Chain A
Amino acid sequence: MQEAMIKRAKELLADGTVNRVMGWKKGEFAYDITPAVFDTAEELEQDFVCDDLTQANVSKYLIKESRKEGRILAFLKPCDTYSFNQLIKEHRIIRENVYVIGIPGGPKIDVEKIKAKGITGILSVKNEDYTLKIETIYGTETMPFYEAISGKCESCKSKKHVVYDELMGEEGDVLDSNRFDMVEKLENMTAQERYDFWRGELSKCIRCNACRNVCPACTCESCVFDNPASGISQKAAADSFEENMFHIIRAFHVAGRCTDCGECSRVCPQNIPLHLLNRKFIKDINSLYGEYQAGADTTSRAPLTDYKADDCEPSVVHERGAE
């Protein structure tokens, strides 16, 4: 696929359809891949990469890139197309300045899961018939491919590209995913158990803002948490609950707009399962307002910005109770 992508990108650069290519650049190792813009065929040949370890969603970069001169080619995985579409809906990306090629998605490999097995000194990772062959400084290691699948791919919601100008590979379908399983587990806990779970997870937060800054739904020009006049101390936890509040407030801010792309949890240096907060909102919106998938289209009214006579009443909070 990588070779075909480079070939097609070179064609589109050559015939003037686009003047830049948004993709990913090789790193020092097998896994440290950086989102990058390529201007020439030579750059593409030298550094362009798209393999089993290429996880980053590049849709958010297109806000800035679509405001530059000319048209940019973007390779989007199915999940990335939802983020892209949502950003079109919010008038953040200028659609005509992006040429979208849909590419097959995961499952992608998360090197953290390989490292969690105690495998270190990783030089290369190859998928051989669903067994990972990992060359390391200390010799060759193997592990089952499925044990190294990234969290966001484990509960993939859709193989369908919801927006594209052309497609590489086959058209996929929306999947019947298991993505709400963990949310249900949390819902079934007692209030105290759930509180302890989240306190345990959120107290690991180091306030690096990686989740916010990578989030395609967090596109405010200036974030409320960066406003010194907001009355909250954004860089420090003024008390032991404040970093907890940061994440809860952020989840509220992206409710109804989060497409569940999973980038927040992917980038968290402390492995906090932040996506579960967003999924709780998605699940609640589905049950209270009817099935809704942010980013699935660019024209519908989102449940939280629309009014229908049969919308649930605020009292639903009370009716559902504290548990």
Chain B
Amino acid sequence: MKEYLIYGDSTCDLDKTVRDAYGIEYFQMNYVLDGKEYPASLDWEELSAREFYDAMRAGKRITTTQVPTESYERVFTECAENGKDVLYVGCSSALSGSINLAKVVAKDVMEKYPKSRIVCIDALNSSFGQGIMLMWASDMRKAGKSIDEAASYIEENRLKVSQCATVGKLDYLRRAGRITASSAFFGNIIGIKPIIISDVIGQNYAIKKVKGAQNAKEEIAAYQAEQIENAADQTIWISHADDEESAASLGELLKAKTGCKDIRLGCIGPIVGASVGPGTIISFCVGKEVTIKGEA
């Protein structure tokens, strides 16, 4: 069977240890802080996570850019020339234009190299949601499955990855505009926390609001307990934006409520982080297919 590489991008939030263990590469996006562009590294080489999120806390606006065309061209072409295929699971198309750009580039490259196979899949999710799908791909590759088998498995099961999150402060979300909810939903309310899921088309959608961080965590745990299936064999992944304490306490609640096997914590990378802001915690489990569709 033909060898294939597995690629994510800067929103998959998998750190080096995990990527190495699973043999996952990623395309880097970029972010701009104080007029300077940085590669959105998941290993925080230039700016530490603390420095990055402190800048946001200080009111600095961070903008992000999608994966540059050259990156896709370079990697896809190199792989084609070396006789390797590529399976790319990209950030939800509702959040980033990267995956659609990749599809266009992949088509060109495959025309040039008719023997090459480049499959680009919209994760309809981000952070560890996307990360979980990349790990699925890796596990299937290890089990000897072909690129197409791995791809169709992900396409069939991606909506079973259930995201449930809340943020530290609403201001960051409002500024980035990467969440779907009517303006009246949040209002001007002190201490309000949205409960955010990734809907059927991969947009972040606030399904509910509660008062206070503790209530938000309990709401998230209750939601995931409802969603999860085969909890006893499952690891729930929680990503956080420089707030490990919150993530850990959510982890305890989730473990108690769902009876899952394990909890893994990790940092929200710069791209997702720039839109949700410090203090955000996002949980991911696998279970019932998501059916909610937020208003556009």
A binds B: no
Residues of B whose CB lies within 8 Å of any CB of A are none
Residues of A whose CB lies within 8 Å of any CB of B are none
